[in-house]
Amino acid sequence: MVVGDFPIEVDTLVIGAGPGGYVAAIRAAQLGQKVTVVEKATLGGVCLNVGCIPSKALITAGHRFETAKHSEDMGIKAENVTVDFSKVQEFKNGVVKKLTGGVAGLLKGNKVDVVTGEAYFVDSNTVRVMDENSAQTYKFNNAIIATGSRPIEIPGFKFSKRVLDSTGALALQEVPKKMVVIGAGYIGTELGTAYANFGTEVTFIEAGDEILAGFEKQMSAIVKRNLKKKGNVEIYTKAMAKGVEETENGVHVTFEAGGETKTIEADYVLVTVGRRPNTDEMGLEQVGVKLTERGLIEIDKQCRTSVSNIYAIGDIVAGPPLAHKASYEGKIAAEAISGHPAEIDYLGIPAVVFAEPELASVGYTEAQAKAEGIEVIAAKFPFAANGRALALNESDGFLKLVARKEDGVLIGGQIAGANASDMIAEIGLAIEAGMTAEDVAMTIHAHPTLGEITMEAAEVVIGSPIHIVK
């Protein structure tokens, strides 16, 4: 092993180059800091390489295939529609390559040094960065830890060729005939839906009462109904996976549901029951960085850990493991290091699942607001009453706004419907800006667009709906 003789000194050392780390590095460099980012794998982290981006490419391809086969309602019939899955993978990998290459260009353009290797804390101002062939010491004034998370492996389901995590599911070279998905949260639902659209028989095994437990039941119920309508999807809730037996060509999955023990044969089993923070084997305890029992790093409102010059962001701190949350926290940490009065405020952070239809939520739900003693007015507007939704043949779903009763200020919104992932941004902006329902209702929205649904829901809040009866 080649060892660096002298330490390299930097202002800010960022560990991890995912959507939290690379954003933090760029923002810190923009603020005049000399920045080095350390990444043990590939720039872009899980999100760009084996998470958000490739999964959405796969989901889009599956949706296109499904649409091509079933557009009879619009007078379009296609026969012998086929999938060349190698081409699907080629498309997906092309998207990833463009984005990761873009990240490399952005880091270079902002004069951020990129180092490949694993970082280990020696003390509160020093890390050793090691790869297979060398080691180098770095001295820093401040550090930002952005090491992300990894899939949880459950007892009896050790990851293998046939027992897949999300990374393995995205890398399949063929469309399976049958797949079992353990865990129907957002990752399991998204990937299970994508493969169901390609023709795979999919069985969901979910321990909770419903799929997509993080969303209101009215929202997840629409997704569940549409999954069942496909004809090749079966859903078991309040069910517990017990074990798997691997064969040469597939798996036998045993689980309990409704008081009975059942066994399913499939080509693969996909396990998506959550993610574990990557905070081990870094020497954090050695330098006094405090962790929770779950291995999450404790931070203050500026993302500062218990060690004043070490910050942490993304999946390794409390809150949902969302790429945009990590990016947001990365900017906060970089600005705090530069002396800016930036602080985290999670109210405007949206959550999205790319299901059928898409679900999105931001701010308070009606139930959450009431639980905190906030009197609210909650109002819904259906996609079925919107001209653009009907023209798209996507009339399933609704948009709901939550406003404080005392002053009409918007504090939350939920969408179940086409393009919910894009539409939620307007509600998030309204919440961040402290806008009222009247402000949104009086904003002229182009016609015919799905965006009008937000305006129409705001009109319901203020008591003057036009396109539904009051």
Fold agreement (2-150+276-346, 357-461): no
Q: Which CATH class is domain 2-150+276-346?
A: alpha beta
Q: Would you say 120 and 284 are in contact if contact means Cβ atoms under 8 Å apart?
A: no
What lies within 8 Å, CB to CB, of 41 at 6+ separation is 49
Mind listing the pLDDT tens digit of every residue in the chain (470 residues)? Answer: 445 568 999 999 999 999 999 999 999 999 999 999 999 999 999 999 999 999 999 999 999 999 999 999 999 999 999 999 999 999 999 999 999 999 999 999 999 999 999 999 999 999 999 998 899 999 999 999 999 999 999 999 999 999 999 999 999 999 999 999 999 999 999 999 999 999 999 999 999 999 999 999 999 999 999 999 999 999 999 999 999 999 989 999 999 999 999 999 999 999 999 999 999 999 999 999 999 999 999 999 999 999 999 999 999 999 999 999 999 999 999 999 999 999 999 999 999 999 999 999 999 999 999 999 999 999 999 999 999 999 999 999 999 999 999 999 999 999 999 999 999 999 999 999 999 999 999 999 999 999 999 999 999 999 999 999 98
pLDDT at 132: 87
List Cα–Cα distances, 280 to 138, 328, 360, 393, in angstroms: 20, 24, 32, 49
Instruction: Quickly count: other Cβ atoms within 10 Å of residue 279's Cβ.
Output: 23
The strand pairing partners of 196, in sequence order, are: none
What lies within 8 Å, CB to CB, of 132 at 6+ separation is none
Q: Would you say 375 and 403 are in contact if contact means Cβ atoms under 8 Å apart?
A: no
Strand 163-164, strand 268-271: pairing: parallel
Q: What is the C-alpha R_g of the chain?
A: 24
Q: How many CA atoms lie within 13 A of 415 on its CB side?
A: 29
CATH for 163-273, among 3.30.870.10, 3.50.50.60, 3.40.228.10, 3.40.250.10?
3.50.50.60
pLDDT at 1: 40
Query: CA-to-CA distance for 88 and 84, rounded, in angstroms?
Result: 7
Catalytic residue among 70, 324, 447, 467: 447
* Angle of CA points 112, 333, 274, to nearest 5°: 100
CATH for 357-461, among 3.30.390.30, 3.30.70.20, 3.40.50.300, 3.10.20.440?
3.30.390.30
List Cα–Cα distances, 62 to 44, 69, 390, in angstroms: 24, 11, 22
Phi-psi category of residue 259: left, alpha or beta, with phi > 0 → left and psi -120 to 50 → alpha:
left
Question: Is the four-CA dihedral 130, 131, 136, 141 of positive or negative sign?
Answer: negative
- Is 70 annotated as catalytic? no
Query: CA-to-CA distance for 25 and 355, rounded, in angstroms?
Result: 32
What lies within 8 Å, CB to CB, of 43 at 6+ separation is 17, 22, 100, 103, 104, 107, 114
Q: Is the peptide bond before 448 cis (omega within 30 degrees of 0)?
A: yes
Side chain identity at residue 290, one-letter code: K
Record the tokens describing residue 416, joined without a space.
């179940």
On the 0-12 / 13-18 / 19+ scale of CB atoms within 10 A, 127 is buried
Query: CA-to-CA distance for 33 and 9, rounded, in angstroms?
Result: 12
Structural domain spans, the chain:
2-150+276-346, 163-273, 357-461
pLDDT at 4: 52
Record the tokens describing residue 131, joined without a space.
């790869």
pLDDT at 470: 82
